[in-house]
Chains A and B, each alone.
Chain A
Amino acid sequence: MQGAQNHILAEVNLSNSKIQFNQIDVAENLEGLQSYELVLDKYKDMFVKAISEPSKNPIISISTGPLTGTGAPGSATYFINFVSPVNGKIISRICEGPIGPYLRYAGIDHLVLYGKAKKPVTLSINNEGINIISAKEIQDLDAVETIETLHRQLGEDNIIASSGAIKKAARSRFASVVYDYHYEVEAIGLGRVFFDLGIKALAINGQGGVALAQPEEFLQELIDIYKYYRSTNASKTQNDQITKNTYLSPWRKNDFIKLSGQYYGLATDSENVLGLKNDDLLKINQQCLKEGISQRMVLEFIKENAEEKNGDFTFDMESILKDMEKWTPDNQDNLDISTIQATGLYWDDKALPFIGAIDRAAKLLKYYSGKEWNSFHLEEAGRQIASISNELYLGVK
């Protein structure tokens, strides 16, 4: 394998089941650093159309960065563009989890989904290609039941990303996409866009890999980074580490909370406005994951609407969902994507708090691509990306 191969863009038109694979020249987009913008630009007309009527013209693009899935800390980073069913604006989100890496292992760097399937479908994605299969038998299952069923049918190796029951939760503007039983894609209303597309689930079975131009040097850099990390954490137990929000895993961040001897990835009420106990958070977490509703948005809603805060907490998902449909949340801004994050590494001050993170990222990019990258180049690339990004968003708003 050689590094820095051209990226593959897979395009699925759900309306006519047409699937196309195209190559993207990475040299033209800074080794793939502009990936999410490149796709947004290429499908600009469709995104603009989706703004006018999101439910009729749904479109989602999923893009990976050059270092996504390479095993570096936080390299489970990928990007999603879609038009929010909540406010009708284009949302660009940084996401974490195995969906991005496993798409790359399946040989796909960018996935664009648009149109509308006549009946709910599952997209089975593997190294042989993409199959559109009927989701008739699973359409009324909740998100967790869907994951269990598809694991049984398609194999445990599949990464399953599922929305909730088609007749129920998936229709909500706050529907989420759940994967690995414990996690949701942190993008508001993505599950509803799945519903609009007619997609019940994605099943990604990537058995291939990511090519590196200089694998030995890349591995040595990984060893150095993890050695540094270990030296500051070796004496700590898993329970201590989870409070550090390390973004360490290649697949997901490690911000679990331990309850009753098990670990859970809970959305938390960061300002503790509600004063919820972990047991109550767990109730919300489990119910939201089961139904396929964004737990963060449920918390936001409760925070804004709870009449009695810091009191006894009761949680009724059905009535909350009903009330949420009349609600428009305040915070719907896009996240600023930093240059390091554009490489496919979710690093920030909390994630890898050592001096010279940009040097490390540039080195990894160099060993990945075989081309001269240093911190200066990466910072310059960041400026270019920001400039293109501003133009693009002005163009489509």
Chain B
Amino acid sequence: MRVISIDREKCTGCGICQVACSLTKTGAVQPSLGRIKVISDKRSRLQMVSVCQHCAEPACQTACLMEGISKDLASGQIIRDLEMCFGCGACQVACPISAPILDVDQGVIVTCDLCDGNPVCVKVCPHGAIAYGELTEAITNRRIRQGARFFGVRQEGVE
């Protein structure tokens, strides 16, 4: 399974990935429609980026009223059937990192689709903080640590 991973030691929260993502998906610079986004850490007030983690057990999938979200078992990618989405926002509420965003132009909820395996955010990141590659144990551990620190997400059995 290939995933996007963010090294928060390198990330400055500059937001270039968000701009490039919106440019790719909408043809305009519109950060509010970027599927990777800059968020603020409430405690330190510092900024960093957050993006769909294509979770092993996706809360968004469980929450979707229309059963329009599935997980591709081969690639591990979350697949959204936008024909079924009516923008209710249940997946946004369920997601522990609030990754889904409302595409106001289409009236549907969208998330990172990994740009068909060639994510633009990885290409533009000036700090080399965003990588796309196989999910390793090290990346998994980092996700758990960062999930706990920045989003208060706890995994059972992990402090």
Taking Cβ atoms with an 8 Å cutoff, the residues of A that contact B are 1, 69-71, 73, 105, 156-157, 181-182, 206-212, 215, 218-219, 222-223, 226-227, 229-230, 233-234, 237-238, 241, 248-251, 254, 256, 262-263
A36 to chain B, nearest CB (A): 21
Q: How far is the CA of A71 from the CA of B31 in the complex (A)?
A: 9
B28 to chain A, nearest CB (A): 4
Q: Are B12 and A238 in contact (CB-based, < 8 A)?
A: yes
| A237 in contact with B10 given A215-B23, A263-B46 (CB within 8 Å) | yes
Q: Are B16 and A218 in contact (CB-based, < 8 A)?
A: no
Residue in A closest to B19 when the chains form the complex, CB atoms: A71
Q: How far is the CA of A223 from the CA of B119 in the complex (A)?
A: 12
Q: Are A238 and B10 in contact (CB-based, < 8 A)?
A: yes
Q: How far is the CA of A226 from the CA of B121 in the complex (A)?
A: 11
| A226 in contact with B32 given A1-B27, A219-B120, A237-B9 (CB within 8 Å) | no
Set B11, B12, B24, B40: member contacting A219, Cβ < 8 A: B24
Which A residues are in CB contact (< 8 Å) with B104?
A: 207
| A234 in contact with B16 given A69-B29, A207-B104, A212-B27 (CB within 8 Å) | no
B26 within 8 A of A: yes
Which B residues are in CB contact (< 8 Å) with A263?
A: 46
Q: Are A230 and B15 in contact (CB-based, < 8 A)?
A: no
Which B residues are in CB contact (< 8 Å) with A223?
A: 20, 120, 123-124
A66 to chain B, nearest CB (A): 12
Residue in B closest to A239 when the chains form the complex, CB atoms: B9
Set B16, B22, B45, B46: member contacting A209, Cβ < 8 A: B22
| Residue of A156, A251, A254 with most chain B CB atoms under a 10 A cut-off | A251
Q: Are A215 and B128 in contact (CB-based, < 8 A)?
A: no
Q: Are B29 and A209 in contact (CB-based, < 8 A)?
A: yes
Q: How far is the CA of A233 from the CA of B124 in the complex (A)?
A: 13
Which B residues are in CB contact (< 8 Å) with A249?
A: 12, 14-16
Residue in A closest to B26 when the chains form the complex, CB atoms: A209
Q: Are B23 and A230 in contact (CB-based, < 8 A)?
A: no
Q: Are B31 and A105 in contact (CB-based, < 8 A)?
A: yes
Q: Are A234 and B120 in contact (CB-based, < 8 A)?
A: no
Q: Are A250 and B124 in contact (CB-based, < 8 A)?
A: no
Which B residues are in CB contact (< 8 Å) with A182?
A: 45
Interface size bucket, B side? 20 to 34
Q: Are A215 and B19 in contact (CB-based, < 8 A)?
A: no
Q: Are B40 and A156 in contact (CB-based, < 8 A)?
A: yes
Q: How far is the CA of A134 from the CA of B68 in the complex (A)?
A: 44
B62 to chain A, nearest CB (A): 26
Q: Are A222 and B125 in contact (CB-based, < 8 A)?
A: no
B30 within 8 A of A: yes
B46 to chain A, nearest CB (A): 6
Q: Are B126 and A208 in contact (CB-based, < 8 A)?
A: no
Residue in A closest to B44 when the chains form the complex, CB atoms: A262
Write 9 A-B pairs (CB below 8 A) sorted by A numbering: A105-B32, A209-B29, A215-B28, A223-B124, A226-B123, A226-B124, A229-B126, A250-B16, A251-B14
Contact with A along B117-152 (1 / 0, CB 8 A): 000100111111000000000000000000000000
A214 to chain B, nearest CB (A): 10
Set A156, A227, A233, A256: member contacting B127, Cβ < 8 A: A233
Which 6 pairs, one residue from A and one from B, show the smallest C-beta to C-beta distance? A209-B30, A71-B19, A249-B14, A209-B28, A234-B128, A1-B28
| Residue of B9, B29, B128 with most chain A CB atoms under a 10 A cut-off | B29
Q: Are B14 and A210 in contact (CB-based, < 8 A)?
A: no
Known pairs A209-B30, A227-B123, A250-B14. 11 more at Cβ < 8 A?
Answer: A71-B29, A73-B126, A211-B28, A215-B23, A219-B24, A226-B125, A230-B128, A233-B128, A248-B14, A249-B16, A254-B14
Residue in A closest to B27 when the chains form the complex, CB atoms: A215
Q: Are A105 and B30 in contact (CB-based, < 8 A)?
A: yes
B33 within 8 A of A: yes
Q: Are B32 and A219 in contact (CB-based, < 8 A)?
A: no
Q: Are A181 and B126 in contact (CB-based, < 8 A)?
A: no
Residue in A closest to B45 when the chains form the complex, CB atoms: A181
| Residue of B16, B20, B26 with most chain A CB atoms under a 10 A cut-off | B16
B4-63 at interface with A (beta carbon < 8 Å): 9-12, 14-16, 19-20, 22-24, 26-33, 40, 44-46
Q: Are B12 and A212 in contact (CB-based, < 8 A)?
A: no
Which A residues are in CB contact (< 8 Å) with B28?
A: 1, 209-212, 215
Q: Are B15 and A250 in contact (CB-based, < 8 A)?
A: yes
| A262 in contact with B15 given A70-B29, A234-B128, A241-B127 (CB within 8 Å) | no
Set B12, B40, B46, B120: member contacting A241, Cβ < 8 A: B12
